[in-house]
Structure 1
């Protein structure tokens, strides 16, 4: 009997939807023109490029000429932060971010500190992973040129008060960048209402191809170019456009916009069922992140007395693909920087599990997780001296 295969890691990546792949296929073969060429083949590619730019812009209520295609979310993060830093150096050298950002943000900030003399403030967050607005405002100096706070956290799913952060940034005449890789296409976004100057996005989080993303740059925002060479992307990001992926991203963005309400309602319902089922069946368990302001498909648990690596291995043996807040896959024994930042003790942060739900997740899948996970946790706990001590004490 074939082992069941159940994917519960949509926050890591999503499969390409059939409608997206169908849209992409002609641009590998008959519609292979270079969008910078003046002949018919080039003009056809340019038309497709403009269409995709409009589709991505429509997803966040931006203008098409405010969308710049990149190789993905990490490049968009790097470009936004480095581009502002170098373009506004005459004004100041201070950047504000948070301790729970994706490494695409944290590492470029560390690079600017170490190699270019910039000063970076890393804000604490509350127990649900939310930036404290009063501390953010207090951190602003005369030399502050950029605030970079992620829209929604990739590990614990907490959505930040983006509109309020944007208002603070605007009040102090500071640019505001948000990493919306997990959010764009999964929750409604209107950049005009949010006072956002720069926003990072990615295709493969919303059922598009990998290796393609976008940076929203509000009209009038001063930013250094990131890749130098040709005149592509209005001379800001040189290089021949990845047309099949751009077309795919455009279609994925269009589908996400069209299906947004249904997507949120369905995933939120499945998420609630999963959380309620696990909390009922497994003692010494906590949900990490906000239950109200949360990505619809994100669930993050911490199970006391055990480590996340063991959970992942045993789930994989059952055919269940998930991820852990523990950074074991990166070769580090340290627990997640996000879970540590929200105040979890080291030993509890180690026992974390992220289950992320997507458009192809079914009620039956959720039932299967609720059925199988308790036995996995119990088996691992029976091997834990910490758990043994608790049981004996009781």
Structure 2
């Protein structure tokens, strides 16, 4: 590896800012006006926001008027997952059902009381148990249920049967939210085809700026009675505060690029992902790929090599110039036990070693080769230690 050259394979954490996005952000940063002002400078800022709203809406098959910008996917989930989310003129939700493998912003960020929340189990591949869901909805009777099911898991890349879950929920008069943060821009996402009521997004997973996300409603027939940030009437009253015009403009540009190259890029990344996965299996025949029997994002695979701890491996890969993530990385940068792997029934000894490889727009075949070279060195060191200890 050339001096200073690094391989970045942690796009599910944050995908590097696309050059075109950086240009859009800089252009918007230079606009002097407030988007709520009626003068020419204000209208120019407003135009940037509305253009981005159209671009983000197209990414998920929605209408621009139903896109609400937030500070990120976490705020978006916190805003929506409340008893006050409802159809206009209908009662609010009284019970929340959450997939066991959901992101912490869903599991911990909702605004329901603890006694009104239930966890939906997943199988050994991390897929939602639809039979369990159907039985629970039948038991709910007249109770107003909101469920949250992610489209793709951030740790394993496993895809969930969201359309089937939406059909079941609607048959029983409930509502459904989908965390599409990891899926949007990597696989086709169409709100109408999925049949969902609301989804949430984050720009930095698709090469956009950090700190900007969105709530996207299926129609204007939904309301959120309990707002998180109150004040002015920005974002049609859903989210007060002067808009982050530059970040919003960057989000729109990233969404437009992702939309335009979706099929081609998905196939390219799937080819690279499969190659990297095959190399891992060749280097370490006892390696385990988590969720291998399930449909997954084309850019993601999580694997464990028995005897290799994630914390040790991450340091070794980093020193070799390769940036990966543990499936259980938390916000402090430390490694802790993964609730996703626990929900899947992965043995604790194995789950401690799970690493995640996530590719993206900047990933090349050379990156995969450098990853394999680093993996061979890391595994070789592990086997030498095992041999000397025997």
Instruction: Give the structure-1-normalised TM-score.
Output: 0.92
Distance apart, 1:4 and its partner CA: 2.7
> How far apart, CA to CA, are the structure 1 residues paired with 2:385 and 2:90?
55
Report the Cα distance in structure 2 between the residues aligned to 1:63 and 1:24, rounded to whole angstroms: 23
Deviation at 1:333, TM superposition (A): 6.3
Gaps of 5+ in 2: none
Shift of 1:290: 4.0
Q: Which residue of 2 aligns with 1:59?
A: 59
Q: Deviations over 1:297-348 (max 9, x none)?
A: 1010011122100000000110111111244774776421111111111100
Per the alignment, do residues 331 and 25 of structure 1 end up closer, same or farther by CA in structure 2, a change over 3 Å counting? closer
Describe the shift of the 1:18–1:291 C-alpha distance in structure 2 as closer, same or farther (beyond 3 A). Answer: farther
CA shift in 2, pair 1:6/1:248, >3 Å: same
How many residues are matched? 383
> Which residue of 255, 261, 265 corresponds with 1:263?
265
Q: CA deviation at 1:273?
A: 0.4
Structure-2 change in CA distance of 1:329 and 1:56 (3 Å): closer
Deviates more, 1:316-325 or 1:81-90: 81-90
| Corresponding residue number in structure 2 for 1:134 | 131
Match in the other structure for 1:97: 98
The answer on whether the counterparts of 1:308 and 1:352 sit within 8 Å (CA) in structure 2 is yes
Q: Is the 8 A contact 1:311 1:377 kept in 2?
A: no
Decide whether aligned partners of structure 1 residues 357 and 291 sit closer, same or farther in structure 2, where only a CA change above 3 A counts.
farther
2: distance between equivalents of 1:4 and 1:296? 25
User: Cα deviations across residues 142-168 of structure 1 (Å, max 9, x unaligned)?
Assistant: 324201011100000001111111111
- State whether residues 69 and 213 of structure 1, in contact with CA within 8 Å, keep that contact through their aligned partners in structure 2: yes
Task: Say whether the 8 Å CA contact 1:309–1:326 is kept in structure 2.
Answer: no
For residue 47 of structure 1, report the CA deviation from its aligned partner: 1.5
| Cα distance, 1:50–1:83 mapped onto 2, change above 3 Å | farther
Residue of structure 1 equivalent to 2:22: 21
Separation (CA, whole Å) in 2 of partners of 1:107 and 1:93: 17
CA distance in 1, matches of 2:368, 2:295: 22
Q: How does 1:312-391 map to 2 (within 5 A)?
A: 312-327=314-329, 330=332, 334-383=336-385
**Equivalent residue runs for 1:240-279 within 5 Å:** 240-279=242-281
Structure 2 residue aligned with 1:165:
165
| 1:100-179 correspondence runs (5 A) | 100-109=101-110, 112-114=112-114, 118-140=115-137, 141-142=140-141, 143-179=143-179
| Alignment-derived partner of residue 293 in structure 1 | 295
For the residue of structure 1 that corresponds to 2:125, the secondary structure is coil
RMSD: 2.1
Contact in 1 for aligned 2:96/2:112 (Cα 8 Å) = no
Change (3 A) 1:252 1:329: closer
The answer as to whether partners of 1:146 and 1:174 remain within 8 angstroms in 2 is: yes
Deviation at 1:292, TM superposition (A): 5.1
What TM-score comes out, normalization by structure 2 length? 0.93
Can you give the 5+ residue segments of structure 1 that lack an aligned partner in the other structure? none
Cα 1:85–1:39 change in 2 (3 A) is closer
Distance 1:128 1:365 in 2: 28
Aligned to 1:197: 197
CA distance in 2, matches of 1:252, 1:157: 21
Are the structure 2 counterparts of residues 81 and 328 from structure 1 closer, same or farther at C-alpha, using a change threshold of 3 Å? closer
